[in-house]
A and B are shown apart, each in its own frame.
Chain A
Amino acid sequence: MANPLPESAFEQTYYLNMGPQHPSTHGVLRLFLKLDGEYILEADPVVGYGHRGHEKMAESHFYEQFLPNTSRMDYLSGLIYNHGYVAAVEKMAGIAVPPRVEYIRVICAELNRISSHLLWFGTYLLDLGGITPFLYAFDDREHIMDALDRITGSRLTYNYCRFGGVAKDVDPEFARATRDFIKRLRSRFDDYHTLVTKNVIFINRTRGVGVIDRDAALRFGCTGPVLRASGVPYDIRRAEPYSVYPALNFDIPTGAAGDAMDRYMVRLREMEQSLRIIEQALDGLPEGPFKGRAPRKVRPPKGDYYFAVESARGALGYYIVSDGTSYPYRLKVRVPSFGNLQVLTEALPGTLVADTVAILGSVDIVVPEVDR
């Protein structure tokens, strides 16, 4: 050979940038990987490409003006973000909420949770190379979009909740569409399990892959399905009950191993529980006003307040500091994806590049939520 390669060429580590424009990162995320051949030695997620400064924006706007921002952080569970924000300000300012409103909010939040999980289900399988489940999931999800579109006016970035109420009352047509959807999705779960859960390729790609155990979850502050898959039944809806959740019956699905398969199963079983919640809430939906009395300009008393809700990805918290004016002095959003993404710095090293997509997909992050 004229130019023999140096010996070191065969035992070199090298760096690979996965993203920021990569179909499996679902948003603009860059994974900076240090590789030894096909094995990952170090992983460093680089975030911030979608930083819009929501927390800064809040400080120069009225409490009401920040409402549309909330659903643009985690655009897949916008209604839960809406709910968390208005509930935090209502609690702070002492605004009473009519019971009908609480039921409507819970129904919408749970529908949103299902649509988020369905989108995750579809795109995760797409990441792993299965196109059919994606089409099934989006078909089902479309029914939620239509139902929510009917009452909220939007399909993704909802701006539905108001202080003390919601923007528009639900009508019998919405209730009918929702009940139809519940029936439909229940019958589809069998298809999902036949198509995916029992698929041997899927099992081999997820079983024992990307294990995040209880200790790692605790150190990285993981919440949501990522935490529950490792066997910790921590769900804000039960731990710090809010709205009408205490009156509703539902279980908290948990896993045991904390691998990608467990996270998958937790989300699928969560959808079943969300259907149960919606059904009960529709049955118990009281008559009454859909808007309470709220001042034109909300001025919470001086001090601070923390309010947490369970989003589709985990514990979402709003920490609001008020100086007694109609502008928040400081508004901090504690987002679940923050910890769930950071845990990859530990879950990825030692695995194969091919598993990166399977692991990244399984923690279900929404990057704009991390970036804010």
Chain B
Amino acid sequence: MSLDVFREELRRQLPELAVVRSLDYAVSGRHLEIQAERGQVESIARTARKVGFFLEAITAIDFTDGPQVIYLFNSYEAPSRVQVRVQLRPEESLATISSLYDAALWYEREVFDLFGIRFDNHPGLRRLLLPEDADFHPLRKDFGKVHAFRSVKEIYGEPTA
């Protein structure tokens, strides 16, 4: 199974990775969740590329603690959706993975466009969907009409190590 290969490879490449847990596909739609530090994203993406996963999406969620960036990897062979969460502090940047996955070129531009999160060493980090002269990042919770602005804890509860 591709998921086991991925986990095995991940254990070898990143033994210091704190939270890797299996999710119940029936209730979450994903198979594996990884909580990563800022600096570990590139190594995780390299591992995913090595075992033949594709990048399904990059997106973000805005919390009062700062934005959380979500990476979704999946495999064409056997469904194994891996979600990587990276909690950032406000205005913190993240390393690009566009040298590993070309798809990240646009996904990172979209996240930058909508959330204002910068990706270091991205070859052309400009707006994707909004006009070039826009001076706001619409999916931030301090922009426009929103129903609630919450902390990570309010939604996911206390972190379980």
Contacts of B55 in A (CB 8 A): 221
- A27 → chain B closest CB, angstroms: 14
Contacts of A334 in B (CB 8 A): 56-57, 59, 72
Indicate whether B34 reaches chain A with its CB closer than 8 angstroms: no
User: Are B72 and A329 closer than 8 Å at their CB atoms?
Assistant: no
User: Are A48 and B76 closer than 8 Å at their CB atoms?
Assistant: no
User: Are B103 and A60 closer than 8 Å at their CB atoms?
Assistant: no
Q: Add 6 more A-B contacts to A321-B61, A372-B129 (CB < 8 A).
A: A55-B114, A55-B139, A60-B144, A221-B57, A303-B156, A304-B155
Contacts of B102 in A (CB 8 A): 219-220, 342, 345-346
A338 nearest CB neighbor, chain B only: B106
B interface: dominant SS: loop
Indicate whether A317 reaches chain B with its CB closer than 8 angstroms: yes
Contacts of B70 in A (CB 8 A): 319, 332
**Known: A325-B147, A327-B148, A339-B103. Contact between A307 and B29, CB under 8 A?**
yes
Contacts of B72 in A (CB 8 A): 306, 317, 319, 334
Which residues of B does A touch, CB under 8 Å?
27-30, 52, 54-57, 59, 61-62, 70, 72, 76, 78-79, 81, 83, 101-103, 105-107, 114, 127-131, 138-139, 144-148, 150, 154-157
Indicate whether A5 reaches chain B with its CB closer than 8 angstroms: no
Interface centre among A91, A218, A232 (most CB of B within 10 A): A218
Interchain CB contact (< 8 A) of A317 among B56, B103, B131: B56
- B47 → chain A closest CB, angstroms: 15
User: Are A56 and B144 closer than 8 Å at their CB atoms?
Assistant: yes
Q: Which of A52-66 contact B (CB under 8 A)?
A: 53, 55-56, 59-60
User: Are A323 and B61 closer than 8 Å at their CB atoms?
Assistant: no
**Known: A47-B128, A53-B138, A317-B57. Contact between A59 and B147, CB under 8 A?**
yes
Q: 16 A–B contact pairs at CB < 8 A? A: A60-B145, A88-B29, A217-B54, A219-B102, A220-B103, A221-B56, A302-B155, A302-B156, A305-B27, A306-B29, A317-B56, A317-B72, A322-B155, A327-B148, A329-B150, A342-B105
